[in-house]
Amino acid sequence: MLAVVAVNSLLIYAMYFPSLRGVKWLEYADMAFILVFVLEAIYKISTYSLAGYFRSGWNRFDFGIVLLSMPTLLVPFTDVPDTAVFIILRLFRLVRIARVLRFVPNMHHILAGLGRALKASVFVFFALGFLLFVFSVMTCHFYHDVVPEHFGDPLISLYSVFQLFTVEGWYEIPNLVAERTDKPWVIGVTRFYFGMIVLLGGVLGMSLANAVFVDEMTMDNTDELEEKVDRLGEQIAEIKEMLRDR
């Protein structure tokens, strides 16, 4: 089944090349893969029973993807190009690529680590979101007239400050402000202010979020190593005790 999922993913990938868009045999081949996945679900349900089938998390995942893929069967039979409804129907085919995830080795451990990392990072994400909100409003207040393309309204300002948090082009915006003012003290304050945004949000904030996230992701491996070390210590203690008794 991994080979079927892989071939279907490559087919979906190929269908988005401009020269292959709208090619009927590709559409029909895509429909055939959906029918294969439907038949697979029916076979498993008849083999394991409905309750037994849905007892597996991966089966629920597969069934959800197949269910979301079903509207794609309508696409080849419609002559209405690129309306909003049918663009959405075409996009549903992309969810089937996610089936590849179930064949990734140790995927269960990866998902468990991801869940722990998200839980542990909630406060850090909240703090970063608060900083982002405060800086976006402040920057919009002070610079909406100077650089309206970056801080013209709170939403644009939110995006621009987030861009600064990622340290992407962090020096370009202060330089743009400096070009549009002739007051040296304003230029100095602006560079200090944007430097603080990058330092607090980008260097410290993002680094802390990354450190917490990675630490929680790898905790499962660390716990396993600690258990092995503990067992090794117990075995060494038992050997010493046996040698002492002799």
126 and 98, same structural domain?
A: no
Residues 65 and 132 in one domain: no
Contact, 182 vs 105, CB < 8 A? no
- Give the Cα separation of 234 and 56 in Å (integer): 37
* pLDDT score recorded for residue 75: 62
Most confident stretch, 46-60, 68-82, 225-239 = 46-60
Distance CA 74, CA 51 (A): 30
Does 239 reside within a domain? no
Say how far apart CA 143 and CA 136 lie, in whole Å: 10
**CB of 131 within 8 A of CB of 205?**
yes
Give 198's DSSP letter: I
Is 240 inside a domain boundary? no
Using alpha carbons, list the distances in angstroms from residue 20 to 8, 24, 130, 145, 167: 15, 9, 46, 47, 39
* Closest to 163 measured CA to CA, from 132, 191, 122: 132
Between 6 and 45, residue with greater pLDDT: 45
Give the lowest-confidence range in 7-16, 88-97, 120-129, 141-150.
88-97
Query: Would you state the structure tokens that stand for residue 39, as one six-digit string?
Result: 């038949």
Average pLDDT value for residue range 155-183? 86
Residue 53 domain boundaries: 2-103
From 103, 128, 147, the end of a domain falls on 103
Does the residue 111 lie in any domain? no
On the question of pLDDT at 184 being above 60, the answer is yes
- The residue among 242 and 192 whose pLDDT is bigger is 192
Same domain, 55 and 14: yes
pLDDT confidence of residue 76: 60
- Tell me what pLDDT residue 83 has: 46
**86, part of any domain:** yes
Length of the chain: 246
177: confidence class by pLDDT, cuts 50, 70, 90: confident
Determine contact, residues 128/209, Cβ cutoff 8 Å: yes
Burial (CB < 10 A; 0-12, 13-18, 19+), residue 143, is buried
Cα 49 to Cα 2: distance, rounded to the nearest angstrom = 23
Domain boundary among 103, 134, 165: 103
Instruction: Note whether 42 and 122 are same-domain residues.
Output: no
Residue 179 within a domain? yes
Q: In total, how many domains does the chain have?
A: 2
* Residue 107, pLDDT score: 67
> 193 pLDDT exceeds 70?
yes
Whole-angstrom distance, CA of residue 33 vs CA of residue 8:
7
Domain boundary among 103, 138, 163: 103
pLDDT averaged over every residue in the chain: 79
- Only one residue has tokens 């129907």, namely 89
**Residue 245 belongs to some domain of the structure:** no
